[in-house]
Amino acid sequence: MSTRSIVKVRLAIAPCLLAAIGMIGHAQTPLEQGVQLMNTEKYAEAQAAFEKAIASAPGDAEAQFQLARSLFEQEKFDEAVTAFEKAIVIDPKQARYQSGLGRGLGEKARLSNIVVKGMIAPRIRTAFEAAVAGDPRNIEYRNDLLQFYVEAPGFLGGSEEKALEQAAEIGKLDKKEGLLSRAHAYQSLEKFDEALKAFQEGMAAYPDERDFALNSVVLLQEQKRFAEASKLLAGILAKNPDSGFALYQTGRNAALSGKGLEEGSKCLLRYLELTPGPDEPKHEHAHVRLGDIYAKLKNPAEAKKHYSEALKLNPKNENAANGLKALG
């Protein structure tokens, strides 16, 4: 069972601790020092601070939870799970602790063989169900549980019906998030037409939200329905010619399909003139797609130029290196 999408690397920080850190003139406790170190990604130092806090107060559930977080970030998943479990023994009603345990177990399962995965799966489900029960309005917890239901086989607790129930509950809290959750559930269940319907419903209800259109395009590309993806992208560019994601995806669509290569190259060249947003592909990826397009256009000089540009931006870009190698 794949649990990659169950696991999210960042775990929630208690708001009360953040408030305490901000107190001017306040002498920080080891627990507060550890949280501050976590915020600067000094995880090993944070671990030491939390261990100091626990040594002086072994029954402090929050200290155990924060220790688990620091271990999780260092990919010490066995130790992290143990610390999460200790926090839960002290305070079993904290949804954050149950969520952390579920994610820690999920990451542990991801790295284990199939036998161990089967042993861990029920514990993941129990933890995520407890998190939702403890904080039923938390969309993130419900999405974790939904993802478990769609990824786990039925004999280990997976259930399409329960996954869609979670999507429906998310929709009651936030319609947009509910549509996204329903679409992703169907996508994971390989019911792609149903997923596309949910994405399309989202595009109609939220025309200014990029998530629905982007997910639709990527799903269509994965299904090799390139003509449909091209039509969708053309509509977006007609309304917003400098839509970064539409420019890039038009180029990607051309590179993958071998169709509309000239238009794809124009869109990618325009994309290179723009500054990518924080969640948009870096320029190195645009150069790789241009290399792919020019290779298909039998223009090896331009293809080599763009693969080389990608490698200048990121010498570890394997797609660019492989593209150059293929050109000889």
Produce one character per residue of 224-246: b if its CB has 16 or more CB atoms within 10 Å, e if not.
Answer: ebbebbbebbeebbeeeeebbbb
Q: pLDDT digits over 113-143, tens only? A: 999 999 999 999 999 999 999 999 999 999 9
What per-residue confidence (pLDDT) applies to 10?
44
For residue 189, give every residue at least 6 positions away whose Cβ sits within 8 Å of its Cβ, in sequence order, or none.
150, 160, 163
Q: Does the pLDDT of residue 22 top 60, yes or no?
A: no
What per-residue confidence (pLDDT) applies to 209?
87
Q: What share of the chain is helix, strand, coil (3-state, %, to 5)?
A: 75, 0, 25
What per-residue confidence (pLDDT) applies to 26?
64
Predicted model pTM: 0.78
Is there a contact between 254 and 233 (Cβ–Cβ < 8 Å)? no
Confidence band for 180, pLDDT divided at 50, 70 and 90: very high
C-alpha to C-alpha distance for 184 and 206, rounded to whole angstroms = 17
Share the mean pLDDT of the chain: 92
Domains of the chain: 1-147 (1.25.40.10)
Confidence band for 8, pLDDT divided at 50, 70 and 90: very low
Confidence band for 70, pLDDT divided at 50, 70 and 90: very high
Task: Dihedral sign for Cα 169, 148, 12, 135, please.
Answer: positive
Q: Does the pLDDT of residue 11 top 70, yes or no?
A: no
Confidence band for 5, pLDDT divided at 50, 70 and 90: very low
Q: pLDDT digits over 144-165, tens only? A: 999 999 999 999 999 999 999 9
The beta strands (E) that lie in 127-233 are given as none
